[in-house]
Amino acid sequence: MKQYIKTFSIATVAAVLVVTAFSFRPSPANPQIEYEYFQFSTIESVIPGGLGRSRILTTDNKGQLLEKDLKNFYSMVGLNFKNIAKNDNAIIERINDYSTQGWELVNVVTGSHAQTSDGSSSGGLFITRYLFRRAK
């Protein structure tokens, strides 16, 4: 019985030493990464007849608003798929520009707002916000 208690005690002490040794291991050289964030928005008009205004809006690091025109979704004859394709290309071009500057696209949020006074959904705005980050 004494031999059993002695063996059990030695094994317990050894296990505690091993666990303690591994718990005080230095952490890897992986400091918390700090990011800076950047966002731009697209506002696309869905007002019939091409009467709306569509833009890419960016605020630079000086707080100045930068605008780039986009095509309206609608022309005088209805939905204009060529305009939608042109807007897609302009937005992708903007995303690629920021990507080459080291920005990573991390989130995209969309929404819409009908602007007609009679409550119909035949007009309004479609907004998309693109959130980027990069390591400082």
Residue of 101 and 63 predicted with greater confidence: 101
pLDDT score of 112 more than 80: yes
Residue of 63 and 7 predicted with greater confidence: 63
Q: Quote the pLDDT of residue 131.
A: 95
Cα separation of 28 and 125, whole Å?
49
The token duo for 3 is 């031999």
At 78 the three-state DSSP class reads strand
b/e per residue, 29-40, with b = 16+ CB within 10 A? Answer: eeeeeeeeebeb
Residue of 24 and 122 predicted with greater confidence: 24
The answer to whether residues 123 and 106 touch, using CB atoms and an 8 Å cutoff, is no
Question: Cα torsion at 11, 16, 20, 21 (round to 10°)?
Answer: -10
Residue of 23 and 43 predicted with greater confidence: 43
User: How would residue 30 be classed by pLDDT, with cut points 50, 70 and 90?
Assistant: low
User: How would residue 52 be classed by pLDDT, with cut points 50, 70 and 90?
Assistant: confident
**Mean per-residue pLDDT of the chain:** 81
C-alpha atoms less than 13 angstroms from C-alpha of 32 in its C-beta half-sphere = 1
Q: Quote the pLDDT of residue 87.
A: 93
Q: What is the mean pLDDT of residues 50-62?
A: 83
Is the pTM higher than 0.85? The answer reads no
For the chain, give the percent of residues with pLDDT over 90: 40
